[in-house]
Amino acid sequence: MKKEECFYIGKITGKYSFRGELLVKTDSDNPKQYTKLKSIFIELDSGLVPFVIKNIQMHKSELIRIQFDNILNEMEANKLIKKDVYLPLSFLPKLKGKKFYYHEVIGFSIMHNNENLGTIERIHDQGLQALFEIKKNNGSTSLIPIHDDFIINVDRVKKNISVEIPDGLLEL
């Protein structure tokens, strides 16, 4: 499985027991949604590697405790600590209307007043306000806040997002 065909769900943060159980900190408001999984992908040096889950359950409020079929002791488990965990994109429910996943709109055009402003290169979501990073047609870049009030339409067929941007925002 290629990384581009998957989405990040979290990181293995430590081991739980001498039997090879591991703790995963998810990047989700609802980590319980992952407790029915049968397998996951872990990013190793060779790429994404599938691991079959023997047992999975919540651990405290935001961690998941996982035991894999082929990880039977602490020494094997130690090799997976601090590794990223992924699932195939097919696990995500389809979104409609103005809702979208950040990864799905990379490469979309941003339209403002029927003018193509440029292409979404990446999304910045570490701060208080998520931002589209737009590569403008002239080669420069701009940041546009991702806000429901600014987004008019998401056209998945034409691969563009129509926005209504306040005057002066693009000049910042």
Per-residue pLDDT of the chain (172 residues; tens, 9 = 90+): 899 899 999 999 999 988 999 999 998 888 999 999 999 999 999 899 999 999 999 998 889 999 999 999 999 999 999 999 999 999 988 899 999 988 889 999 999 999 999 999 999 988 789 999 999 989 999 999 999 999 999 999 999 999 998 887 777 6
List, by residue range, all CATH 2.40.30.60 domains of the chain.
3-91
The answer to whether the pTM exceeds 0.75 is no
List, by residue range, all CATH 2.30.30.240 domains of the chain.
102-171
Which superfamily does CATH assign the domain made up of 102-171 to?
A: PRC-barrel domain (2.30.30.240)
**Tell me, what's the pLDDT at 90?**
92
The DSSP secondary-structure symbol of 78 reads: H
**Tell me, what's the pLDDT at 106?**
94
**Tell me, what's the pLDDT at 172?**
60
**Tell me, what's the pLDDT at 128?**
86
The answer regarding whether domain 3-91 maps to CATH 1.10.2020.10 reads no
**Tell me, what's the pLDDT at 28?**
84
